[in-house]
Amino acid sequence: MSTPTVTEIDVRTIPPYERHAKIFGQFDDLAVGQALVIVNDHDPVPLRRQFEGRTPGQFNWSYLQAGPALWRVQIDKVAGAAAESGGGCCSGGACG
């Protein structure tokens, strides 16, 4: 059995205004079953809320280290975007 691919991003080295865009870009590039580890100097609760709003049902969020000086969060991609858009009867505008 192979180990899932994990990409680590130390966001402490990235300007704050670029962080979330970089993280979402990396997450979007992941295949289902791959993961992203975020390293930060605070609990990334606002980022988690953005994930919940932007990619519901597509990720698992796990704390690997929870402060106080260093936070490491693993974000596993568990489903692709297509999983969210194909579930309803009006998928693709078919209802009418």
Buried b (16+ CB within 10 A) or exposed e, 7-23: eebebeeeeeeebbeeb
State which residues form the domain around 48: 6-82
**What is the phi/psi pair of residue 94, to 5°?**
-75, -25
> pLDDT digit string (tens) for 18-55?
999 999 999 999 999 999 999 999 999 999 999 999 99
Q: Classify residue 88: in a domain, yes or no.
A: no
Q: What CATH number did the domain enclosing 52 receive?
A: 3.30.110.40
Residue 1, in any domain of the structure: no
Q: Which residue has the higher pLDDT, 66 or 91?
A: 66
Q: Domain tally for the chain?
A: 1
Question: So what's the pLDDT on residue 82?
Answer: 60
Please count the CA atoms within 13 angstroms of the CA of 16 that sit on its side-chain side. 4
